[in-house]
Amino acid sequence: MVRACGLLTAQKEPVPLKSIEVELEVRDHVATVVSTLNYENKEDKPLEAVFVFPLPGDAAVCHFNAKIGQTQIVAEVKEKQKAREEYDDALSSGQQAFLLEESLQSPDIFSLSVGSLPPGESASIRLEYVTELAVQADDGLRFCLPAVFNPRYQPQGSEGAGVQVTSVPASLVPYSLSFSARVSSPRPISKVESNCSLDPLQYLNTDQTQATVKLAAGHKFDRDVELLIYYKDAHQPTAVVEAGQVSAEPGSLMADSVVMVSLYPEFPQSVTSSVASCGEFVLLMDRSGSMSNTRISSARDTLLLLLKSLPMGCYFNIYSFGSRYEHIFPKSVEYSQQTMEEALKTVVQMEANLGGTEMLQPLKHIYSQPCIPNQPRQLFVFTDGEVWDTKEVIDLVKKNSDSHRCFSFGIGEGASSALINGMAKEGGGHAQFITGTDRMQPKVMQSLRFALQLAVVDISVTWDLPKEVSVTVLSPPITALFPGQRSLIYAQLSGQSSEAAEGCVTVKYSLAGHPSENQLHFSLRPAEDTGLTVHKLGARTLIHSLEEGEHRGWQDTKVKEKVVQLSVQSGISSSLTAFIAVFNNNGEAIQGPLLHKNILKHDYVDCTLSPYQDYEDLQEPSVLTMGYMYADQESYDYVGCTLNPYQNCEGYMDADQESGDYMDCALPLDQDYETSVSEQQTRDPLLQLVSLQEATGKWLLDPALPTALGKTNEEVEKSKPVLANKEIWATILALIWLHGLKMDSKNEWDLLAMKAASWLRAQNAPWVTECVEAANLLLGCSVMKEALGL
C-alpha cells in the first residue's frame, strides 16, 4: 500500500502543469483537436507527474509527442502491456518516459504519465485526436472541451480502479487555457455559439464556408468550453473521399482511399407533427448525491411534464437509482388518471438521497421485464454521468437494442460523453446534454417527440464502382434513423481504375411509407491529405466494433491481434494499446529519489483526504488540500484520495467510516445546506398549469386554475359562456393562455397541448368558438381557433 508522505503546503508551491493550448479544426461533421500541455518542474528533485483528463467518448487519439528542453520525441502506439513495461524500464534506468493509455472502465478517461523531469526542466506534451461532432436537436454540431471532470462513482467491491482523479476548487487551478477554432464545410457556416465568451466569428472567404473563432481573453477554464456550429442545408447528404498514405503498407487501411458518407435525413412536417399513441415509457432517474439541489428539482419538474405529455393508451414506469434502485410500480402500468396521480405523488417527494451512482443493476431489472405486445419500449435515462463501469453499461444497452430505444440525458458539467452518447447510439435513440443555464425540460420534451415519431427504415447503401475498385464497409449496418439522428458511414476503397475518375454511392430509405433515394458522386483520385482524418475515424470505427468482445476477456485472440495491428498501423489508440515515448537523456542517469505528484482537474469539491489523513486536518489553515507526493513508486497504486473518491463533498462525512458509505455527502462548494432545505422556490406558473391537467388532456374548472392563469375565480366564472361545459371552458382557457402567453416555451408544452386539442375534438362540443373568443378577451390574447388544432 502506498503511504501519503506529504501535501503541498500553504506556500502554494506550483504544480508542474503551467498552461494548456488547444487548437480545434472542424471539417464539416468531424473535428481534429490539438492540445499542448506545458509543464515545468520547480521542485529540487526529479518528478514523475500523472495528469488525468477527459476526451470525447468516441475520440481517436492519433498523435502524441513530447518536447523536453530543446529535444523533441514522438510517441509510438504499442500493445499496452509492452508499452507499460518499456515505460517502467525507462524510469528505473533514469530515462525520461511518457505514457498515454485509455481507461479500461471508460474510454473518455485518459491518464498521462509524463515520466521523470529533472529539477528546473520544462516539458511540452502535444496530443492530437479526431472525433465526430454530435448533432443536436436544433441541427447544431456540438463540440465540448471538458474542464470539469466529475469523480466517477465506483461500487464497493469492484476491481481495478486504475485511473483516479482528484478534484479541487476552480479558483485553485494553477494553469491557464488558450483555445481557438477553425471551421470549414462544403456548406456555408450560419453561426457559431458558445456557453463561454467568444471573440466575433471571422469569415475567411466570401461564400462563408470557412471561419475562425477563439475564446475571449480572460477565460478561467472554470466550465466546459462548448461550441455549437450551425451550417446552412444541414440535411444535405455528403460524401468525402480521402487519399491513402503513400508510405503505408500496401493493401492496408491506411494505404487505400477511405470514403465517409453522412446521412442526416430531413423529416417533413407531416411526419414530425404526428405522434404515436402507444409505447412503453420507462424513465430512469439518477438520485445519487451529486444530483442534489437544483438538479433534482429540475428533474422533478421534467418528470411532471413527461407524465402529463404521455399519450393515452401507452404504458409507463419510473425507476430511480443511486447505490440502490427503486421503482414506482412492480411492472409498467397502463397510463391513466389514477396511475399518473400515483406516480406524481412519488415524484414530488424525490430527493438526491440514494448515495452513489450504480446504474447497471436497475438497467438489468428493466431489461429482465418482458416487453408488452404492440407497445415499443422507450427508455429515458437521466444522469450526471458519474458512473465507473461505462463500457459495461453501454454493452448492456447494445445487447438489448433489438427490444427498445434509449434516450440519454447528461446533466451538469462533466457528464461523461462516452456514457451519454454511447447509450443513445447503441440504443438507437438520441443524446442530449444539459449544462450551465440550460433548461432540462425543453430538451427532454424534444426527445419525447422523437420517441413518439416514425423512423427512417429499410436503409440500404449500394456502391457503383469500376471493376478494378472494391469496397469494404468499415461501419456497422444502419437499421433505423430517427428524427435528429445522423449516421456516418466509412468504407475502404481498394484498387485503382486507369479510366474512371468517379464512384457513386446510392442511399435508399423509407419514411412513413414514402421511399427516398440519394445519389452521391465522389472522386476516385482525391488529392493527398496529410491529416488522414477520415482514415483515422474509419479505423476508430472498426476498432470499436472489434472491441465489443472485451467484456468477455478477449477470448478470441485473433480479434485481439487484429485490434492491436490496426491500432499500431493507424496510430489510433485503443483499449489494448498505448502511446509510449522514451528519451534517454544522452545516457545520463537522472539523480535523486523520484517523487509522484497528481496534476489536478478542478471540480466544486473542497474536501480531499488521503486514506491516512484525519478529517480534522482540513480545518488547519496551514494545510492546502491540493495534491499528493508518494515516495513509494513500486506499487503504482494511485487509488484513494478523497472522503469518498467518487463523490463530490464539502466536508460532510458519514459517521460510519468503515463502510465507506457517504450517502449524505454531496453538496456544491457554494451551496449552504440549511438554506437549500429551508428555501422553497416560487412555482413556475407554467408548471402550475401543467400540474392541473388530467391524463386525458382536459383541465377541470378547479379553483387553482384561475390562480395559475393570473386571474380570480370570479373573473373566470363571469367570462364563461353561459351554456358552455365547464371542462371545455377550462381546457380552452388553458390552451389560449399557452398559445397566447407562453409561446417561448412551446417545445415544453406542445405535446400536452396536442393531447388537450385531441380531447376537445373528441367531445364534438358546441360553444367552442364562443369559448375561444371569451378566453381571448379575458386573457388579453388574440389566438385563432385553428392555431389550437381545433
Contacts of 590 (CB under 8 A, 6+ apart): 46, 94, 95, 96, 116, 118
Closest Cα partner for 359 from 271, 284, 257, 418?
284
Sign of the torsion formed by the C-alpha atoms of 710, 711, 713 and 718? negative
CA distance 54 to 112: 11
Instruction: Flag whether pLDDT at 426 surpasses 80.
Output: yes
Q: Which residue has the higher pLDDT, 706 or 602?
A: 706
Which range, 234-243, 501-510, 600-609, 620-629, has the best average confidence (pLDDT)?
501-510
Instruction: Flag whether pLDDT at 586 surpasses 70.
Output: no
**What local confidence, expressed as pLDDT, does residue 221 receive?**
65
Joined together, the cell numbers standing for residue 758 give 385531441
* Full-model pTM: 0.64
**Burial letters 761-783, b for 16+ CB under 10 A, else e:** eeeebebbebbbebbbebbeeeb
Please name the residue that has the C-alpha cell 529519489: 593
Joined together, the cell numbers standing for residue 457 give 427504415
Alpha helices in 348-496 (DSSP H): 360-368, 390-399, 417-426, 440-452
Contacts of 125 (CB under 8 A, 6+ apart): 36, 37, 38, 39, 64, 65, 66, 98, 112, 114
- Burial degree of 171 (CB within 10 A; 0-12, 13-18, 19+): exposed
Residue-wise pLDDT for 154-205, tens only, equals 454 444 434 444 444 444 555 677 889 999 887 899 999 988 888 999 999 9
**What local confidence, expressed as pLDDT, does residue 104 receive?**
61
Helix (H) / strand (E) element for 732: namely helix 726-741
Cα–Cα separations (whole angstroms), residue 491 to 32, 269, 776? 20, 33, 58
Residue-wise pLDDT for 357-411, tens only, equals 889 999 999 999 998 888 889 999 999 876 778 888 988 998 888 788 899 998 8
Q: How many CB atoms lie within 10 A of CB 738?
A: 24
Contacts of 338 (CB under 8 A, 6+ apart): none
> What is the C-alpha end-to-end distance of the chain, expressed in Å?
72
Contacts of 181 (CB under 8 A, 6+ apart): 23, 24, 25, 26, 143, 192, 212, 213, 214, 227
Residue-wise pLDDT for 4-38, tens only, equals 211 122 233 334 567 788 899 888 888 889 988 88
